[in-house]
Amino acid sequence: MDWLSLFALSVLLAWSGGLSPAVEARCGAGGAVVFNFGDSNSDTGGLSAGLGYIFPLPHGRIFFHRSTGRLCDGRLVLDFLCENLNSSYLSPYLESLGSDFRHGANFAISGAATLPRNQPFSLFIQVLQFFRFKSKSLELVAQGAKNLVNEEGFKKALYVIDIGQNDLSVAFSLNASYDEAVARIPSIISEIRNALKMLHDSGSSNFWIHNTGPLGCLPQKLALHASDGDFDPYGCLSPLNNGSMEFNARLNDLCNELRSEFNDSTIVYTDIYSIKYDLITNSAKYGFESPMRVCCGHGGPPYNYDPKITCGNPQCQVCDEKLKYISWDGVHYTEAANALVASRILSTEYSNPKLEFDYFCSASMEH
């Protein structure tokens, strides 16, 4: 077992006295079916496949030991959740070679947002891609194809929504006032509502919805807005974090409303913001150092971030693999941080309702 697995295990042992759910599969051999919609926080290679972008090493240096299209040094939170469900890592919908769609597909694309809705690859476009994927899969299953999700599989599958960070980022980068920026939030929530309704009306019934993390704690934002001076006691930008919390409150309200409207469905809202803010503000407790400093970046203290020289550029300096950083490239988290975030998600402490993740285990594909 490598140091990352040992670290994640030791942290959870300290929390609960049990085995880390981030490394323990909870489902049987059949696993579960998962369809994911989102942005770079859960993109397993969609942007790379769709637009031909290559994210060279050191991206992927941990665990995969090669570039996989993930903006991370290793696994994402989504990867750990799939491990827990005994499912294969989700292949991007747009990847034409080597894809494995036995346990679902990933429609998330780096840079994706909810608005504008007709711009690739918005949440709306991702849902339309899903409908095409579903139609083609069922057509092939009817013709005798194996190792594809069948009708029952689509019905029982878990549908994960993890989007909104880019919408907020744009809102706060338009030189708008705080009130003007948060005034965009209802439109973002409306698009998420529309996506969930489209999925529900097509027969989907299990939804797992992540809120957005503390935008004001990202080293990228801190480096770009360092002169603003409106920081909280932990060095995060208060307006951006307040905007994140406003978005999250509206998203939580939406989930509460849809539980009544979709009374045949399971809708789990997960508070990623609280998990990540706790990790950042108590980083030393969890064995991390320099919570606001980028592992793979350029520019030196305090953030090591330069928007013109980002991770993958030959001029970038990369932290030692033995060091435990939270931020990989200024926006995305390291595998070590993602492992802890996944562990907290799986604890159910931050979910409403507090549903065990193995509730979604099912053998629901054509063999």
Confidence of residue 18 (pLDDT cuts 50, 70, 90): very low
Please report, to the nearest 10 degrees, the dihedral formed by the alpha carbons of residues 109, 275, 75, 83 taken in order: -100
pLDDT confidence of residue 4? 36
**Burial class of residue 65, CB neighbours in 10 A (0-12, 13-18, 19+):** exposed
How confident is the model at residue 28, as a pLDDT?
Answer: 80
The catalytic residue among 20, 40, 244, 351 is 40
Would you state the structure tokens that stand for residue 168, as one six-digit string?
């907020």
Percent of the chain predicted with pLDDT > 90: 86
Identify the pLDDT of residue 21. Answer: 38
- Examine the pLDDT at 14 and tell me if it is beyond 70: no
pLDDT at 332: 98
* Terminal Cα-to-Cα distance of the chain (whole angstroms): 32
DSSP-derived 3-state class of residue 21: coil
Q: Is the pLDDT of residue 297 over 80?
A: yes
**Cα distance between residue 149 and residue 87, in whole Å:** 13
Tokens of 262: 């979709």
pLDDT at res. 29: 76
Cα torsion through 197, 202, 204, 208, rounded to 10: -30
Lowest mean pLDDT among 14-23, 82-91, 216-225, 260-269: 14-23
DSSP secondary structure of 234-250: TS-BHHHHHHHHHHHHH
Residue 226 pLDDT class (50, 70, 90 cuts) = confident
Residue of 222 and 367 predicted with greater confidence: 222
Tell me which of 39, 91, 329, 351 is the catalytic residue: 329
What CA–CA distance (Å, rounded) separates 66 from 45? 12
User: Is 201 labeled as catalytic in the residue annotation?
Assistant: no
Range list of H helices, the chain: 3-16, 46-51, 77-84, 123-142, 151-156, 165-171, 178-182, 185-201, 219-224, 238-261, 272-281, 335-346
CATH of the domain at 182: 3.40.50.1110
Range of the domain at 302: 3-366
332 in catalytic set: yes
Report the distance separating Cα 268 and Cα 112, nearest Å. 22
> How far is Cα 45 from Cα 90, in angstroms, rounded to an integer?
9
Give the 3-state DSSP-derived string for 291-347, with helices as H, strands as E and coil as C: CCCECEECCCCCCCCCCCCCCCCCCCEECCCCCCCCECCCCCECHHHHHHHHHHHHC
Structure confidence by residue, pLDDT tens digits, 120-159: 999 999 999 999 999 999 999 999 999 999 999 999 999 9
Residues 42-91 have pLDDT tens digits of 999 999 999 998 899 999 999 999 999 999 999 999 999 999 999 999 99
Q: Is the pLDDT of residue 110 over 90?
A: yes
CA 309 to chain centre: 24
User: Mean pLDDT, the chain, as a whole number?
Assistant: 91
Burial of 360 (C-beta count, 10 Å sphere; 0-12/13-18/19+): buried
- Tokens 């859960």 correspond to what residue? 42
Q: What is the pLDDT, as a whole number, of residue 354?
A: 97
In the predicted model, is pLDDT for residue 17 greater than 50? no
Higher per-residue confidence, 274 vs 29: 274
User: What confidence tier does 103 reach under pLDDT thresholds 50, 70, 90?
Assistant: very high
Whether residue 10 has pLDDT greater than 60: no
296 in Cβ contact with 328 (< 8 Å): yes
Q: At what angle do helices 335-346 and 77-84 cross, to 10 degrees?
A: 50
Q: Residue 31's pLDDT band (boundaries 50, 70, 90)?
A: confident
Given pLDDT bands bounded at 50, 70 and 90, which one contains residue 22? very low
What integer is the mean pLDDT of 347-352? 97
C-alpha atoms less than 13 angstroms from C-alpha of 64 in its C-beta half-sphere: 22
Residue 111: pLDDT above 90? yes
Known active-site residue 274: no
CB 46 within 8 A of CB 69: yes
Residue 318 main-chain phi, psi, to 5 deg: -120, 135
Classify residue 231 by its DSSP letter. B
Q: How many domains does the chain have?
A: 1
Burial class (CB in 10 A: 0-12, 13-18, 19+), 125: middle
Annotated catalytic residue within 167, 332, 347, 351: 332
Nearest to 102 by CA among 91, 114, 113: 91
Which of 7-21, 69-83, 88-102 bottoms out in mean pLDDT, i.e. has the lowest?
Answer: 7-21
pLDDT greater than 70 at residue 1: no
User: Higher confidence at residue 164 or residue 11?
Assistant: 164
For residue 270, the one-letter residue type is T
pLDDT tens-digit map of 179-224: 999 999 999 999 999 999 999 999 999 999 999 999 999 999 999 9
Is residue 361 predicted with pLDDT exceeding 90? Answer: no
pLDDT in tens, 312-349: 999 999 999 999 999 999 999 999 999 999 999 999 99
Q: What is the pTM of this model?
A: 0.92
Taking the CA atoms of 237, 243, 249 and 252 in sequence, report the sign of the dihedral they define.
Answer: negative
Torsion-angle region of 356 (φ positive above 0: left; ψ -120 to 50: alpha; else: beta): beta
User: Is the pLDDT confidence value at 236 over 90?
Assistant: yes
